[in-house]
Structures are given as C-alpha cells and as structure tokens.
C-alpha cells in the first residue's frame, strides 16, 4: 500500500523554497553550479536552476549539469551491474559553489560517491547538498543543506519519487514492503 506524502503542488513549493534558500546562502546566483545526480536528481537540478533564473534578475549566471556517480560507488559487487549515465559538468568548477541535487537522501553513500566524483572534476570552493526527501538512516556523516521534506521512515518502507519528466506523473509516496523489502533510492 502506497501513501502519497507530497503531491505535485507540494513538490513545486519545496523546490521554489530550496531555490530561495540556495540563493540566500550563496548571496545570489554568481558562481553557482547546480549538479544533479542521475536520474531524477538531474530533473530536480534543472527545475531548481530554472526557478533561480525566474527569481533573480541575473539568474542566467547559474550553471546546471549532471554528475554520474556509478563509477564511484562502493557497492558495485553487491548489486547487479548499473549502466552509467552521462556526466555533464558545465565548464570548470574550480573555486565555484557546487550544489549537488538528488531526489532521496538515505544512507549517504551516493553522496559520498558524488563527492569523490566531484573531486576528479576539479576543486570547488563550497559543495552543498539539496534533496527533495530526507528519509533518515544515514550510514555516513553526511547531511543535506536544503531539504524539501524530512520523511522519517522505517527501513522496511520504500520511498517512491515520480517526476513528470521521467515518470509521466508526479508525487512522492511511501510504501510498506513485504518482508525483506527493498530500499529507497
């Protein structure tokens, strides 16, 4: 049984708020690079960048791209082979502020991999993290700077994020798994 916790309007509001928070903490859009983690993080990054451009007169300065972390994961031998997604880093990230964007923050291992990947692309001045949902259960000392919704969950529950661009419909739901259960993103 899946229970919807965020509807489309809630997601829009959360992303708008996150965009404001990013601008506020960065004191404007200068030297901002928004990098989404495939697949849904890329969509969210693009929406946040679009939102920033709407909000700020010189919002066009914000850069957006994608950062695939497949090759940096530490669990390659434990799951089936993942096909990597393209990485697109818009220009140099040296000395700039990078905001990593993902849909769900869970163990923190994806973000750990993203930080490693980022290090191979350059040396940003600041790296921040934005997530749509923080579901807890961290296994590493990682926290998000910008959170759409905190959603305390049990390990046996699954978080489903659907976005119009990738899934055709849009919502965040929580679902109880049978026994051994799957994990969220």
Partner 1 sequence: MRHLLTTKGLDSDTAITLLDVAEDMADVADREIRKLPTLRGKTVVNLFFEDSTRTRISFEAAAKRLSADVINFSAKGSSVSKGESLKDTAQTLAAIGADGVVIRHPASGAPQVLADSGWIDAGIINAGDGTHEHPTQALLDAFTIRRRLHGKASRGKDLDGVTVTIVGDILHSRVARSNVWLLAGLGADVTLVAPPTLVPADTSGWPARVEFDLDAAVDTQPDVVMMLRIQAERMHGSFFPNSREYSRRWGLDDARFARLGTDSIVMHPGPMNRGLEISSMAADSQQSTVREQVANGVSVRMAALYLLLSGDREGTK
Q: Minimum CB separation from partner 1 for residue 94, in Å?
A: 10
The residue within the footprint of partner 1, chosen from 87, 156, 160, 166 (CB under 8 A), is 87
For 162, phi then psi, to 5°, come to -115, 135
Q: Specify the DSSP element, H or E, that contains 2.
A: strand 2-6
The residue within the footprint of partner 1, chosen from 11, 14, 68, 98 (CB under 8 A), is 68
What's the start-to-end Cα distance of the chain, in Å? Answer: 18
Instruction: Please choose, out of 20-28, 39-47, 51-59, 67-75, the segment that lies near partner 1 by the rule CB under 8 A.
Output: 67-75
- Is residue 169 within the footprint of partner 1 (CB under 8 A)? no
Q: What does each C-alpha distance from 85 to 37, 47, 69, 88, 120 come to in angstroms? A: 9, 19, 8, 10, 17
Q: What does each C-alpha distance from 66 to 38, 77, 100, 145 come to in angstroms? A: 7, 24, 9, 19
Q: Minimum CB separation from partner 1 for residue 175, in Å?
A: 24
Instruction: Please choose, out of 20-28, 119-127, 133-141, 166-174, the segment that lies near partner 1 by the rule CB under 8 A.
Output: 119-127
Residue span 98-117 as binding mask against partner 1, x where in contact by CB under 8 A, dash where not: ------------------x-
- Is residue 179 within the footprint of partner 1 (CB under 8 A)? no
Q: Minimum CB separation from partner 1 for residue 39, in Å?
A: 15
Instruction: Please choose, out of 48-56, 84-92, 131-139, 158-166, the segment that lies near partner 1 by the rule CB under 8 A.
Output: 84-92
How far apart CA 109 and CA 122 sit, in angstroms, is: 20
Q: What does each C-alpha distance from 166 to 9, 19, 52, 84, 171 come to in angstroms? A: 17, 21, 22, 17, 12
User: Segment 1-30, which members bind partner 1 (CB under 8 A)?
Assistant: none
Where along the sequence are the contacts to partner 1 (CB under 8 A)? 68, 70-72, 76-84, 86-87, 116, 120-122
């Amino acid at each position: 049984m899946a229970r919807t916790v965020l509807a489309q309007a809630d997601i829009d509001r959360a992303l708008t708020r996150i965009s404001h928070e990013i601008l506020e903490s960065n004191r404007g859009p200068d030297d901002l690079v928004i990098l989404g983690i495939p697949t849904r993080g890329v969509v969210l990054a693009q929406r946040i960048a679009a939102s920033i451009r709407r909000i700020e007169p010189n919002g066009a300065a914000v850069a957006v791209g994608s950062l695939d972390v497949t090759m940096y994961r530490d669990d390659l031998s434990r799951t089936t082979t993942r096909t990597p997604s393209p990485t697109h880093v818009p220009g140099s990230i040296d000395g700039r502020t990078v905001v990593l964007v993902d849909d769900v923050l869970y163990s923190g291992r994806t973000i750990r991999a993203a930080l490693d990947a980022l290090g191979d692309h350059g040396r940003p001045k600041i790296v921040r993290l934005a997530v749509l949902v923080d579901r807890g259960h961290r296994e590493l000392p990682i926290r998000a700077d910008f959170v759409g919704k905190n959603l305390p969950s049990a390990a046996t529950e699954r978080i489903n994020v659907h976005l119009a661009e990738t899934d055709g419909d849009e919502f965040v739901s929580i679902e109880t798994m049978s026994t051994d259960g799957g994990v969220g993103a």
